[in-house]
Structures are given as C-alpha cells and as structure tokens.
Amino acid sequence: MTAMGHDMAEAGRGAGAGEMGIFAKRKGEGPLLQVAGLRKHYGARIGCTDVSFDLWPGEVLGIVGESGSGKSTLLSCLAGHLAPDAGQVLFQTADGMQDTLAMAEPARRRLMRTDWAFVHQHARDGLRMGVSAGGNVGERLMAVGARHYGQIRGAATDWLQKVEISADRIDDRPSQFSGGMQQRLQIARNLVTGPRLVFMDEPTGGLDVSVQARLLDLLRGLVREMGLSVIIVTHDLAVVRLLADRLMVMKSGRVVEQGLTDQVLDDPQHGYTQLLVSSVLQV
Ligand SMILES: Nc1ncnc2c1ncn2[C@@H]1O[C@H](COP(=O)(O)OP(=O)(O)OP(=O)(O)O)[C@@H](O)[C@H]1O
Ligand SMILES: [Mg+2]
C-alpha cells in the first residue's frame, strides 16, 4: 500500500506528494482514499484508464474534462457503482485501509450508507420521488439506525432549513419541487448522516445559471463547515475554481494533468488543459 502510493504515476506535471502533503500534515493522518491503476473499458472503447491519486481528509478534488472524457465512468468506479477491470480503491476505515473493490457486498453497502454519499447530476436519480421531502432525508438516517420519529423529523427539518427549503414543505414530494429545490433536497439527504466522502457528478448541471450560483455557494458553505472530503465531476471550470482544492484533468479516459486548482487553471502545462482554460472547448 505504501509502495502503491509512491509508485503512482502522476500524469502531466503531477502535483504529487509535496502538495498533497499539506493536507496530511494539517490533519495528521493518512490519505482517506488511495486509487491506483484504475481501468474500465467498454468492449474496445476506453472508459477510463491508468488513473491513480490520493485524496486527503478534508480535501476537495475536482475532475474536469470534455464530454466523453471518462469523468462519470471514473466516479462510478470509485463509488462502487461500476466494477472496474483493474486497479485498487483503498478507503481509510477504523480497521485501516480497506480495498473497497475486494470488500464483501454487505460491507460495501454499509460503506455507501454511512461513510460515503453520492450526489447525482439528476436529482431524481438520488431521491425517492414517491416519498415526502422529510421522508427522503429521514430515510438515510433510518438506514444508519435512527428510530426515534421525533428526532428523525427534527433532523430532517434542520436539514431542509440548511439547504434553504422552508420547513413547511417537509410533507411535499420532490415532484412538487423545482429543479434547484430537488437538487438541494438531494444534498440534504446525502449529508444528513455526516458522510466522510461525498461523490458528486455535475451537481449543478442542468440548472439555470442563477440557481447554479446559489447552489454552489450553499455547497461551498457545507463543505467547509463539515470539513467534507469531496470528489466532484464537472465540465464547468467555474465550479472547480470555487470548490476544489485540487484538480484532475481528463482527456480520452486518461488523466493528462493534475495539481492544485489555482496552479492548473492559472498556469496549465498540458496543451489540452490550456485549450480548456482558454475556454475554446467550453460550452
Ligand atoms: N454504458 C456504456 N457503454 C459503452 N460505452 C460507454 C458507456 N458509458 C460510457 N461509455 C463511453 O465511455 C467514454 C467515457 O464516458 P463517460 O460517460 O465516462 O464520460 P464523461 O466524461 O462523464 O462525459 P459527460 O461530460 O458527457 O458526462 C465515452 O467514450 C463513452 O461513450
Ligand atoms: Mg458524465
């Protein structure tokens, strides 16, 4: 495992151990997630390949790249939604680093209910549309053992307020909410259990620009307040500029550059990143 960390091929200029060490030193603990040699092909087509990185506690990692570059494939493999063809995804648990790909299914499911959370691009993929807003939030709490109705409802009310949904909407179903409200509800449902690692796939995609901006502000506040570790996929550089400490740039399934967000965006080394930043490729 230690060898793996050192052996990881850092693509591009590779913001390596030195920069990531900032987080290690500050927190006084090892990486939360260690990924090595991750690969997923769809038949002959590359989904993602040769992806290696460490994520430190409290760190926000942005994954950017054009459409089809492998961002969602990578995130799905990391989060255990998709089985990769090769590689390791090690997660820090009370019993040390555990290979989440080799874990027994019940243990992996427990991880997804407790330490991990996943915010989908389309809120309806991450919500139960037939259940009330309060039920959506409460359900996650019940999945980790909460049983007291009053406390569950109280926590749900608190979380609705945190994501700026009025408490009197608690019994409404998500289908009665706007797109932005649904996305905020999905975030409340995911964060109510205090996960240690949150995966997000284009959480602001598909929303109006003004709604996006408010959601981003809210997300940034929650991430900082809760000290969350986040892996966020987006093709919007403004999103990573605001949220991400570190950035990975993907092209054709490969990581072509990674480093501290400001460095990568202000002084891109790889030709593709330069194009991305110069907004030639931005939609
Ligand atoms: N289920 C699938 N079957 C076959 N090929 C797939 C499948 N899902 C993704 N791919 C292919 O894998 C590559 C990476 O796709 P992926 O969805 O990971 O890209 P992305 O970076 O998330 O794109 P976008 O920004 O459009 O969401 C693409 O060539 C895509 O066609
Ligand atoms: Mg995608």
| Model pLDDT, residue 282 | 54
Summarize the confidence of residues 98-125 as an average pLDDT. 93
113 CB neighbour count, 10 Å cutoff: 15
Asked whether the beta carbons of 130 and 173 are under 8 A apart, the reply is: yes
The Cα–Cα gap between 157 and 152 comes to 9
Asked whether the beta carbons of 53 and 258 are under 8 A apart, the reply is: yes
Tell whether the model's pLDDT for residue 148 goes beyond 90. Answer: yes
Q: In the structure encoding, which two tokens stand for residue 63, read together?
A: 């994954």
104 CB neighbour count, 10 Å cutoff: 8
Which ligand approaches the C-alpha of residue 45 most closely?
1
- Average pLDDT of the chain? 88
| Model pLDDT, residue 281 | 53
Residue 197 identity: L
Strand pairing report for 33-42 and 86-93: antiparallel
| Model pLDDT, residue 280 | 55
Of 64, 34, 33, 37, the C-alpha closest to 48 is 37
The Cα–Cα gap between 271 and 128 comes to 43
Tell whether the model's pLDDT for residue 27 goes beyond 60. Answer: no
Interval 78-89: pLDDT, tens: 999 999 999 999
Tell whether the model's pLDDT for residue 2 goes beyond 50. Answer: no
Asked whether the beta carbons of 58 and 23 are under 8 A apart, the reply is: yes
CA of 221 to the centre of ligand 2 (A): 25
Query: Of all atoms in ligand 1, which is nearest to the CA of residue 75?
Result: 18
Tell whether the model's pLDDT for residue 142 goes beyond 70. Answer: yes
Answer yes or no: pTM beyond 0.95: no
In terms of pLDDT, which residue wins out, 22 or 201?
201
> Which of 63, 71, 74 gets mutated to test ligand 1 (max ligand atoms within 8 A of its CB)?
71
Lowest mean pLDDT among 13-17, 35-39, 199-203, 234-238: 13-17
Ligand 1: does its nearest atom lie under 6 Å from the Cβ of 65? yes
Express as a percent the part of the chain with pLDDT over 90.
77
Express as a percent the part of the chain with pLDDT over 70.
89
Interval 184-193: pLDDT, tens: 999 999 999 9
Tell whether the model's pLDDT for residue 170 goes beyond 60. Answer: yes
Ligand 1: does its nearest atom lie under 6 Å from the Cβ of 234? no
Residue 198's Cβ-count burial label (10 Å; 0-12, 13-18, 19+) is buried
